[in-house]
Amino acid sequence: MELAERFLLDALAYLECALGVLFSVLLEVVGLPYGRYTSPGSAWQLSATTAWVVQELPSLVVPLFVCVATAAERLCRWPNRVLLAMFVVHYIHRSLIFPFLIRGGKPTSWYVCVMAFVFCTYNGYLQSRYLSHYAVYADDWVTDPRFLTGFVLWLTGMLINIHSDGILRNLRQPGQTGRPVRVREHSQLLWGGAGVVWLRPGQLVRPGRGFRPVHLLCPALQSEAASPVVP
């Protein structure tokens, strides 16, 4: 039984990598009705907050269930504990904190939410089951420079993610969605489908496909209306 599940986990890991490549290509070609690409008036839409909670929660609930309802023998080892804790901390933020900070997010199509829900269930099971039952690390692995380097990279990435979310939220005034951006005081550099676009103070950019922020030259940058770069 254990050998069969270990084989299943290995197969799921390889499948996840393959699906990542496949969907990266498909999304470039087809796209998804998410954020500013959502079609107005589409049926079966969820609010941004509801969708984020529902779709991200399995990556938190499944590991907690695995820890409580199964033997989870490997969690007596510190490396396994720390690695699984890193995963859980990330999804505590993504499912229970970030959604309630969203400001004026657009509704999410139900099938986009369902696909994300399936992925998070899949990933939550894969990560938690492997780390709690099968992953073998030396007890001193948590003091190894490679482990510490990885931990610092994880922490740095999470802090950058949280900070970037805050910048994007502040580009949008409360209750505003889908309106032009006016750069009031400082220039801003945006990446668009046609290349890099330099915005001067007072210049308007209407919501369009492909614009994403590359760099904010000044944190004091404010907008008079909603930013098209915020989902």
pLDDT in tens, 35-73: 666 666 666 888 999 999 999 999 999 999 999 999 999
Residue 231 tokens, joined = 């989902």
Residue 41 tokens, joined = 């008036």
Q: Which residues pair with 145 in a beta bridge?
A: none
DSSP-derived 3-state class of residue 196? strand
Distance between alpha carbon 213 and the CA centroid of its chain, in Å? 17
pTM of model > 0.75: no
Q: Does the pLDDT at position 174 exceed 80?
A: no
How many angstroms separate the CA atoms of 4 and 141, rounded?
A: 27
Measuring CA to CA, how many Å separate 124 from each of 6, 49, 53, 176?
A: 16, 20, 15, 34
Question: In degrees rounded to 5, what are phi and psi of residue 27?
Answer: -70, -30
Instruction: Report pLDDT for 176.
Output: 57
Q: Does the pLDDT at position 148 exceed 50?
A: yes
How many angstroms separate the CA atoms of 200 and 179, rounded?
A: 18
DSSP letters spanning 204-230 = EE---TT-EEEEES-TT--BSS--TT-
Structural element, H or E, at residue 68: helix 58-69
